Amino acid sequence: MTKPTQFTQTLRAWMDVFMHRSMRGWGHFAKSTGLSMPQMSILMQLHHKGTCGISDISERFDISAAAASQLVDKLVQADYLARAEDPNDRRAKILTLNIKGQELIKRGAEERHRWMDELATKITAEERSKVTEALEILNRAVLQLEEKK
Amino acid sequence: MTKPTQFTQTLRAWMDVFMHRSMRGWGHFAKSTGLSMPQMSILMQLHHKGTCGISDISERFDISAAAASQLVDKLVQADYLARAEDPNDRRAKILTLNIKGQELIKRGAEERHRWMDELATKITAEERSKVTEALEILNRAVLQLEEKK
DNA sequence: CTTTTTAGTTAAGTGGGCTTAACTTTATAC
DNA sequence: GTATAAAGTTAAGCCCACTTAACTAAAAAG
């Protein structure tokens, strides 16, 4: 690990700002849609994973299965996601975002992408390609990290 | 804006993963400390800004002044922050993190920094310097963006 | 085939965040 | 100097997330 301090410091600084903005952004967006933050988080989780069961949500957010079931039920009733029976295990449910849910997440993401587009205008084309390359490196590293688990 | 698509796509991919991890991380950390997410957010906001008043919190999180006052009161009673009178405007209060609050935030940040350190082990020294440079570019761009407001 | 474990639901009750409304105190406007 | 606006606080009440407990139904274990 050569020069870990500068790397870490820079990454930290970036993280601080970036996370601050993201969380505030999602919070406001959730409020504007009438959904609570936990509900929105479930939709995001589902967007990320594609599909999951009640117990997955329970684990991810560290809440009881009962709480997960109740939250999901509201989202199902509001038509944001579908809850189907798992053919392989008839006790389990398979949750998937339906169109309304997908569009909601897309809209939320777009709002925050706007900030990134603004960011893009503040840097030159040359810098932009450097940043792109760097982020690709990071994305690849993340994949490696996730695979190992 | 030359090649905006690749840049945007990469930034988006990074953002997705990164935000997901950060939010889950903070959520779990908040729970482990016994604080709620709104309370934790106030501490983070204060860590970020250094100092602010009740009305600032009210605006930032889009809640009523009453709600902000109540949340702050709990944090004051739990000794996470200090609420002093503003000498320039005796109606207003000046909120600052005290030692306990600072250490809490530091601890929370460190936990997520551990992930970044893991990330650092997945990339070569050469890549690391590229990434560092790129993130510095982004940080500078963010500063420019914030100044303009 | 019986027992136990696992996935999920339902119900009752708790706690916390949030709101509105009424109020105090200080600053600003005219 | 009086009126109005602004910063916070307090209280009452609502809603929602969350928990525990009791339950159903299906899978796994023995």
Asked whether residue A134 is assigned to any structural domain, the reply reads no
On the question of pLDDT at B143 being above 60, the answer is yes
Asked whether residue A36 is assigned to any structural domain, the reply reads yes
Banded model confidence at residue B20, pLDDT cuts 50, 70, 90:
confident
Asked whether residue A60 is assigned to any structural domain, the reply reads yes
Asked whether residue A3 is assigned to any structural domain, the reply reads no
Give the pLDDT of residue B1.
46
Asked whether residue A99 is assigned to any structural domain, the reply reads yes
For residue B147, which residues of chain A lie inside 8 Å, CB to CB?
Answer: none
Low-confidence ranges of chain A (pLDDT < 50): 1-2
DSSP assignment string, chain B = --SHHHHHHHHHHHHHHHHHHHHHHHHHHHHHHT--HHHHHHHHHHHHHS-B-HHHHHHHTT--HHHHHHHHHHHHHTTSEEEEE-SS-TTSEEEEE-HHHHHHHHHHHHHHHHHHHHHHHTS-HHHHHHHHHHHHHHHHHHHHHHHH-
For residue B17, which residues of chain A lie inside 8 Å, CB to CB?
Answer: 139, 142
List protein-proximal bases of chain C (any atom < 7 A from a CB): 6-12, 16-22, 25-28
Residue A83 bridge partners (DSSP): A95
What is the reported pTM?
0.88
CATH number of the domain that residue A115 is part of: 1.10.10.10
For residue A6, which residues of chain B lie inside 8 Å, CB to CB?
Answer: 132
CA of residue B40 to C1' of nucleotide D20, angstroms: 27
Quote the tokens at residue B76.
Answer: 């004051």
Nucleotide with the nearest C1' to B87 CA: C26
B135·A136 Cβ contact <8 A: no
Find the closest chain B residue to A124 by CA distance.
B1
How many domains are contained in chain A? 1
Residue B60, phi then psi, degrees to nearest 5: -55, -45
CA of residue B64 to C1' of nucleotide C5, angstroms: 48
- What percent of chain B clears pLDDT 90, i.e. is strictly above it? 56
Residue A8 touches partner B, C-beta closer than 8 Å: yes
Give the pLDDT of residue B4.
55
B42-81 pLDDT, tens per residue? 999 999 899 999 999 999 999 999 999 999 999 999 999 9
Range(s) of the domain holding residue A88: 27-121
Banded model confidence at residue B2, pLDDT cuts 50, 70, 90:
very low
Give the pLDDT of residue A4.
55
CA of residue A70 to C1' of nucleotide D19, angstroms: 12
Q: What is the predicted ipTM?
A: 0.86
